[in-house]
Structure formats: C-alpha cells, structure tokens
Amino acid sequence: MGGCRRAHVVVAGLLIGGLVGCFPSRDEIYSELRHSRAQSYSRWRREVGEDPTLPLIRGDLSAEDAVKIALTYNTALRTVLEEKEKARGRVLEAYGEALPTVDFNADYTRLDQVPTVDVPGLGSFPMGHANNWSYRISLTQPLFKGGSIPAAMRGAQLTRFLSDETVRRAVQDVVVQVARAYYDVLVAERLYEVQQEALSFAEANLKDVAARERAGVAIAFDRLRARVEVSNVEADLIQQRNLLNRARTALFRAMGVSQKSGVQLSDELTYLPMEPSFEEAVGTAFMRRPELYQSELDLRLQEQALRVFRSKYWPELEAWGWSQWAKPDPHEASNIEWDRQWMAGLRLKWSLFDGLQREGAIMQQKARLRQSALQLGDVEQGILEEISNAIYDLNDARELVQSQELNVERATEALRLVKLGAAEGVNTELEVLDANTALTRARGLYYQALHAHVTARLALQRAMGVLGPGPGAEKVPERAPKLGVVEAFAQQPDTNVEEVEAGPVAGSESR
C-alpha cells in the first residue's frame, strides 16, 4: 500500500508540474510583448516615406469638410460605434430567455468485465454488455418565468436605444472637438501673421534707425533699442510658430488623418452677432441633448431590471423532452441492436424561500432605480448650468470683440501719428516702438476675442444638443452637420427644433 501511495504522489506531482508548465512565466509574457512592440516599430519604419495607414489629405479644408472627414475616420467615434454591435448582441441574448434550448449528447462506455448474476439452478446471466453507445437530443422550452422574459426583451431593446444615444453623443463630441481644433488653427495662423508683420516692421524700423544714425539724426541708443525689439519679436514669432504647429497636429489627430497631411484652411474667423434666449435654448436642449435621453433610457432599464428581480417570487414553468438512440436497446437489455427511446413532460419550479436573497436583491435594485431618477435630475441641472455659462461667455466675448475692434482702430491711428511725429522729430524712436507693440497686442487680442466668441457659440450649440443628428437617429450622418442651427433658432423662436434648417459653420465664412 505504501508503494501505491508513493506512485499516486508521483503521478499527482507530474500532473501539477505539467499544468504549471502550461502557464507562461513573467519573463515569457514580457518577451512576447517586447516582440510585438518591435514588430510595430518595424512596421512604422517600413511606412516612413510610403503611403501612411491613416488617410492623407491635401488642399483647401473648410470646417464642415473637417467634421465630415472626422465622422468617417475619428478613432474614438469608430470605437463607440462598436457599442451598437454590442447592443445587437444583447438583443439576441435576450431572445434566449424565450426561445428553446437544444442540446446534443453522445456517450460511449466500454466495460472491462460485464457483471453477471448467478441464479441457482439456472446458471449465470450477464448484466449488460461490454460496449454501450447512446445519442441524445434534449429540448427545453420556457413557458412562464414570472414576467422576466418580456422584461428582459424590453431591457434589451432599451439597451439598443441607449447605444444609439451613446453614438449620438459621441458624434456631437467629435463635432465640437474638430471644430474647436479647426478654429484653434485659424487663430494661431492669424496670430502668426501678426507676429510676422511685427517682425517686418521691427526690421524695417531698425534699417531706418541705422540710416538716420549715419545721417546724425538718431543716436546709438535708438539703434540698440530697435535691435532689441527685433530680437524680442523674433522670440514671439518662434513661440507662435510652435503653437501653430501644435494646433495643426491636434486638428489632424481629431480628424483621424495622417500627420503628413498638408491643408490650407479655407474659412475665416468672423464675428456673427447672436443674442440667444435662455428659455428657448433650454427647451431645445431638453428635447435634443443625448445625455438626457441616455438618463431616461437608463431609468427605464432599471425599471425592467426590477421587474426581473420581482419575477423570482413567481414559479417557473417549462416544457422539456428528449429523444435517445442507444445500443443495446434501452427497453430490452437482451437486445444488442440500436433502438430509440423518448420522454417529455412539464417542469414546475417554485422557490419558496431562498434565505432572503430575493429581498436583498430587490432592495438593491430599488436603490439603483432611485439613483437613476436622481441622476436624471442632476443631468438636467448640469445642462441648465452649461447653457447659462455658455450664454455668459458668449455675451462677454461679444463685448470683448467690439472693444478690441475699436482698440485696433485706435492703435493703428496712434502708430500712424507717432510715425509722422518721429519723421518730424516730435516723437522719439522709443515711442514708435511702443506704438507698434501696442498695435501688435491689440490685433492679437482682437483675433483671440473672435476665437473666444466662436468657441462660446460652439459651447452653446453643444449645450443645446444641436451639433448632430436628433433623437432616434439610427446611424452616423453621412454628411457633416451644419453648425448654424443656433442662428436659425434664435431668429425663429416658434420653429420646431426638428424642422430648423441648418446654416453655415458657426463663426466661419468661406473665403
């Protein structure tokens, strides 16, 4: 017996060792990861200088074209679209609550020795056969599960609608992201042009000061001060060029295109006056914001889940049956040929007491339902806050644009006057440089004010939920959404939201 135990221990040790050997070690896992990373790097190296994996775009690009491209290639949106496929799978899974299940089993048994029974006076008789085969098909059809079947199917349908609203929300997020990135490039280009013009003025002024110094009209301090101004403007120009390059890479990333793309933005930063009504904006948001529809659907999903939990108090009834082909004959053991056997019936199951598990589960689900209701109210309040802040920002940006537009005119006139005064010896070189710096700053602030106004308009449109398809949309729009819905709505307050004709991209104008 001791030798037998030792043999069992050795066999068990070999089995455990074999199982452990099936799992890779930490070094092996990281070796595989490093190999995968090396392959990715090699693939990237091969693509350098060749056609990139991401689409390459060239030529003029409007804001609407940028959004249209992003709706096709944006990685985040393409990832969210997979939620629709998951929801379809959830619907199919819910059908399983009502559809029958069919199973197939096959079995073969070989006996090393057929048992026998000894009957006095008659001899020994075998109790079975050495070889035994059987094939069985079983079917189970749920008939009643306390209401959980329709609740599950209803919940699956709501999940599908929830995925649609998730996609609709992602579309609006992509529109905002791409539009803002587009306007970021626009304002960076304008500011870069301002710095280029400032540098040209500083360099021309340095040449003029040097010429006047040689003529004995200016002093060395004026030339030194003019050279310092050139260096300062050059530094600002380098910094602004870096911001422009970063803005372009952010735009290409948001669009989902190759960083090797080369485009020229065809829109301009323009000021489109707008005075939205808070009440009308809220009314539009309450009818279009995908977040509200998501919360409404989640509330209904929790209600269906509560129905499923409550159904556990009810009995479950199902029909079942099976058909079996066996050898030897299952009816007559002496017959070694194949024969068929079947059986069918009804099964009733009723859990009378499960240790308070149902009560606990229902208490939790009721709490989740109350949380969903509170979440819906919180989302509504958050949208009210978004709309209020967007309107405040829009009004502030409007005042800033108007003030800076007038300030640019003043700074331009001041520079003209001080240049005339410097030519007549009334004003100094330092005053000329200060006037030009003031003009450069005023122009920069003006473009930044335009940018703030455009982004505030976008924020309001996003808060209203008008930057994409309306509720119930089943797919991503094939064309870019027009971003001027706010203007049309503000001009026609009695117009139904669904009938609003979209206008141009907010704050942009084609050249």
Per CATH, is 63-95+149-307+356-510 categorized as 3.40.50.2000? no
pLDDT at 218: 73
Averaged over successive runs of 10 residues, the pLDDT of the chain (511 residues) comes to 54 54 78 90 72 79 92 87 84 84 94 81 77 93 87 87 90 93 94 90 84 79 85 92 94 91 90 86 93 93 91 91 90 80 93 89 93 94 94 92 88 86 76 84 90 93 90 60 36 30 36 33
SS3 at position 10:
helix
3 state DSSP class of 289: coil
Q: Looking at residue 90, what is its pLDDT?
A: 81
How many Å apart are CA 174 and CA 177, to the nearest integer? 5
Q: Supply the pLDDT for residue 273.
A: 81
What pLDDT score does 67 carry?
Answer: 92
How confident is the model at residue 505, as a pLDDT?
A: 38
Coil, strand or helix at 338: coil
Which pLDDT does position 477 carry in this prediction? Answer: 57
The structure tokens listed for 92 are 């199919």
**Burial (CB count <10 Å: 0-12, 13-18, 19+), residue 9:** exposed
pLDDT at site 476: 55
Q: What is the pLDDT of residue 4?
A: 54
Per-domain residue ranges for the chain? Answer: 63-95+149-307+356-510, 103-144+317-349
Angle, vertex CA 439, rays to CA 436 and CA 444, nearest 5: 130
Question: Which residues are registered as beta bridge partners of 509?
Answer: 268
List, in sequence order, every residue forming a beta bridge with 136; answer none if it has no partner.
105, 324
Q: Are strands 316-327 and 339-349 parallel, antiparallel or unpaired?
A: antiparallel
Q: What angle do CA 206, 209, 214 make, to 5 degrees?
A: 125
The predicted pLDDT at position 246 comes to 95
Cα 236 to chain center, whole Å? 36
How high is the pLDDT of residue 15? 55
At residue 128, the pLDDT reads: 79
CB atoms near residue 217 (< 10 Å): 11
